Amino acid sequence: QQQVKQSPQSLIVQKGGIPIINCAYENTAFDYFPWYQQFPGKGPALLIAIRPDVSEKKEGRFTISFNKSAKQFSLHIMDSQPGDSATYFCAASPARQLTFGSGTQLTVLP
Amino acid sequence: DAGITQSPRHKVTETGTPVTLRCHQTENHRYMYWYRQDPGHGLRLIHYSYGVKDTDKGEVSDGYSVSRSKTEDFLLTLESATSSQTSVYFCAIKSLDRPGQGAIRMAFFGQGTRLTVV
Q: Chain A contact for B114, CB < 8 A?
A: no
Q: Is the pLDDT of residue B60 over 90?
A: yes
What per-residue confidence (pLDDT) applies to B102? 46
| Secondary element (H or E) of residue B61 | none
Selected from 2.10.109.10, 2.60.40.10, 1.20.1250.20, 3.40.50.20, the CATH number assigned to the domain covering A4-109 reads 2.60.40.10
pLDDT confidence band for B100 (50 / 70 / 90): very low
- Yes or no, beta carbons of B112 and A102 under 8 Å apart: no
**Domain assignment of residue B52, given as a range:** 4-117
Q: With contact defined as beta carbons under 8 Å apart, do A21 and A11 qualify?
A: yes
What per-residue confidence (pLDDT) applies to B107? 65
Q: Which stretch, A81-95, B33-47, B77-91, has highest mean pLDDT?
A: B77-91
Report the amino acid identity of residue A26. E
Please name the residues in contact with A95: beta carbons below 8 A apart, sequence gap of 6 or more: A29, B102, B104
Task: Please list every residue in chain A whose beta carbon sits closer than 8 Å to the beta carbon of residue B43.
Answer: 44, 89, 100
Q: With contact defined as beta carbons under 8 Å apart, do B108 and A102 qualify?
A: no
Total number of domains constituting chain B:
1
pLDDT in tens, A14-34: 999 999 999 999 988 888 899
Q: CA B24, CA A14: separation in Å to the nearest integer?
A: 40
Q: What is the CATH number of the domain that holds B58?
A: 2.60.40.10
Task: Please list every residue in chain A whose beta carbon sits closer than 8 Å to the beta carbon of residue B90.
Answer: 43-44
